[in-house]
Chain A
Amino acid sequence: GSVGTDIPWAVKLEEKAKYDVIFDSLIPVNGFLSGEKVKPVLLNSKLPVDVLGRVWELSDIDHDGLLDRDEFAVAMFLVYCALEKEPVPMSLPPALVPPSKRKSFSV
């Protein structure tokens, strides 16, 4: 693909650490969080459901209905963007694709 693996991830290290703490506090199963666990947390952002739905679509990169650590960080990043009144993109910008997903990621 044309997605370079050298673009730094938009999620900063210290932000990732913060999101990891939240991720772990939700008690992931085999390293994954189900939608039922993530949903109430994202609803706490008080964002409209359609915005959160888009956030989920973008962050569940492999569309398995589960979020791993990196995907969860993307979701949190997008929710914070939306809270700052930044529009949620229609498709995931390459910089937001976790480095661990870039090999299999194609646009």
Chain B
Amino acid sequence: IDVLSLRKPRSFTGSPFRTTNPFLDESLKDVQPSPINPFSSFFEEREKRSRTT
């Protein structure tokens, strides 16, 4: 397997490949924050911890 070709950004159009990693493209600024936040309880927990110490 050609590892180097996997790392190349596939920016040309009409490609049969698509960028499988959604975090590699530049459209991050268009992403609307999700109302689903499984980490909110994690952050609350951490906040609580930092407040008590």
Contacts and interface: CB of A to CB of B under 8 A. Distances in A.
Interface string A32-55: 001110111111111001101100
Interface residues of A, number: 31
A44 B32 contact: no
Measured as residues with beta carbon below 8 angstroms from the partner, the interface class of chain B is: 10 to 19
A60 B21 contact: yes
Interface of A: 18-19, 22, 25-26, 34-36, 38-46, 49-50, 52-53, 56-57, 60, 63-65, 76, 79-80, 83
Contacts, number: 66
Interface majority SS on B: helix, strand, loop or mixed? loop
Most buried by A among B21, B28, B33, B37: B21
